[in-house]
Amino acid sequence: MVFTFLSTALVVFVSATGIYAESHTVKFDNKCGYGTPQLIKGGDVLTTTSYTSSGELAAAIAYLQTGSCGFNGENCTLLELTMTNPVAVGGGSSADISLITPHTFSVATSIEFYGGCDGVGTTCKSAGCNTAFRQPDDTWVQVACQANDANLLITFCPDGGSSSPSKDTTVQQTATTKTATTTKTTSTSKTTSSTKISAPTSSVAHDSTSTTLASSTPTATRTCKRKVAERRALKAHRKRARNL
């Protein structure tokens, strides 16, 4: 009797504390038939397949290493992500595709949340896609998720290795419209959040990229230019949030 009570109490205690063990999985699906996916945070390659964090995973980058990308994804399609549980309305996970110099389109890429915000995501299939950052002000290309313990699937060559950019214009258009709607919804909820929480994730991610860049290559000028751009992006974001 006493034993039963004690073990019940223990089970309740463990499951109650277990609720707060935040974790996020970032998983690659490389359909290109070439290249090695990279998930990088702070100069470390976390995985080339699948990674599960304990706690949040902030300011990470990812790309498909095709042999011509720099360590921080230079010259390639870059993904920026922060996976975190929302501590306030408007917080939460955020991910984006970036083609801001020194990144250039290298491979069709799609990102999508799962295990929370299923189906929310975005795709860039060609160098001319309008779903990627071109300049730091393009914060609307970010996709966000306010669900706890959300995961992210990153797919390279979502149409397979032979996909040509011009083939799927109609599909891409539809996907773009859907993404725009999603982004709008999420940014609306961002308005109620505190300034600190609603700071665009990409700026954080850019920051980490810049930091690593600065330490690994002598591109201080570029880093500085990006820093200025990031500040501008943050300002624009706040302004937009106020007007909404």
Ligand X SMILES: *[C@@H]1O[C@H](CO)[C@@H](O)[C@H](O)[C@H]1NC(C)=O
Q: Please identify, among the stretches 30-38, 70-78, 114-122, 141-149, the one whose residues bind ligand X according to the rule CB under 6 A.
A: 70-78
Number of residues lying near ligand X (CB under 6 A): 3
Please tell me whether residue 115 binds ligand X under the rule CB under 6 A: no
Please tell me whether residue 76 binds ligand X under the rule CB under 6 A: no
Query: Residues near 159 by Cβ (< 8 Å), separated by ≥ 6?
Result: 31, 108, 125, 167, 168
Of residues 45, 70, 229, 238, which one binds ligand X by CB under 6 A?
70
Cβ atoms of residues 123 and 131 within 8 Å: yes
CB nearer to ligand X: give 75 or 126. 75
CA dihedral 111, 113, 118, 120 (to 10 degrees): -50
Residue 68: C-alpha distances to residues 65, 107, 233 (Å): 7, 12, 29
Q: Please, what is the angle between helix 201-216 and helix 220-243, to 10°?
A: 180
Please tell me whether residue 161 binds ligand X under the rule CB under 6 A: no
DSSP for residue 168: T
Please tell me whether residue 74 binds ligand X under the rule CB under 6 A: yes
CB nearer to ligand X: give 70 or 165. 70
**In this structure, what token pair is assigned to residue 74?**
């230079």
* Nearest position to ligand X, beta carbon: 70
Cβ at position 74, least distance to ligand X in Å? 4
Of residues 50, 66, 75, 211, which one binds ligand X by CB under 6 A?
75
List the x/- string, 190-229, binding to ligand X by CB under 6 A. Answer: ----------------------------------------
Cβ atoms of residues 35 and 64 within 8 Å: yes
Cβ atoms of residues 22 and 149 within 8 Å: yes
Please tell me whether residue 163 binds ligand X under the rule CB under 6 A: no
Please tell me whether residue 80 binds ligand X under the rule CB under 6 A: no
Interacting residues toward ligand X by CB under 6 A: 70, 74-75
